Chain A
Amino acid sequence: GAVVSQHPSWVICKSGTSVKIECRSLDFQATTMFWYRQFPKQSLMLMATSNEGSKATYEQGVEKDKFLINHASLTLSTLTVTSAHPEDSSFYICSATGTESYEQYFGPGTRLTVT
């Protein structure tokens, strides 16, 4: 149980375009979803927290107009990187919590490369 999927697993896009990453909880309802970014050889950095039907809460320093998060249902959250630039190239990981809010279940990650 507690499986989280992400789509796509990797994506290459051109500078200036937007790209959407989906995060789904497959076998449970996710009360809260989290989005992380991980640069090479670094730790995971929390970008934002979202609850179904509510606006996402962004961490300090994360541009909410650039990283649009939509948590439309209890099983789906999306992250849209708008007007992507090469410096946005990174590994994006989502996670979700179910009834036990203290434990997050992680997706496999999406590798974004902006050329």
Chain B
Amino acid sequence: AQKVTQAQTEISVVEKEDVTLDCVYETRDTTYYLFWYKQPPSGELVFLIRRNSFDEQNEISGRYSWNFQKSTSSFNFTITASQVVDSAVYFCALSEQSGTYKYIFGTGTRLKVLA
């Protein structure tokens, strides 16, 4: 059955440290999409990245980078030189073709960046 696991419930780091948020997914589909969203205290979900199952290239966007590995069914997210503004809850989500692209969200990881 489809599933998204974010094993880290909460992570605290000191500003300027690097931090990696883990995401492991389960699916039987060959066509699927993975997403990362940031949810700051305001509650509004902020889109960070989308990856489809046929594109395993890693991506870097400023201080953010993503490592997609189909062999381990993981889509991890790294923040380099973390800042206080990065404090938020981060969600990983899976969207499958067979599931009519309904999102399956992980439980989220709360990141606290301390000054």
Contact = CB atoms under 8 A, between A and B. Distances in A.
Contacts of B95: 102-104
A34 interface: yes
Interface residues of A, number: 21
A93 B100 CA distance: 19
A74 interface: no
A49 B107 CA distance: 21
Contact of B45 (A41, A42, A49, A93): A93
A42 to B, nearest CB: 8
Contact of B101 (A93, A102, A108): A102
A46 B101 contact: no
A26 B100 CA distance: 23
Nearest to B103: A104
A97 B50 CA distance: 14
A109 B105 contact: no
Given A34-B102, A103-B95, A43 B108 contact: yes
A44 interface: yes
Given A43-B106, A44-B91, A108 B44 contact: yes
Interface string B43-76: 1110100101000000000000000000000000
A43 B103 contact: no
A38 B89 CA distance: 13
Contacts of B97: 102
Nearest to B31: A102
Nearest to A97: B101
Contacts of B33: 102-103
A115 to B, nearest CB: 20
A2 to B, nearest CB: 9
6 contacts: A34-B103, A42-B107, A95-B103, A102-B95, A103-B50, A108-B42
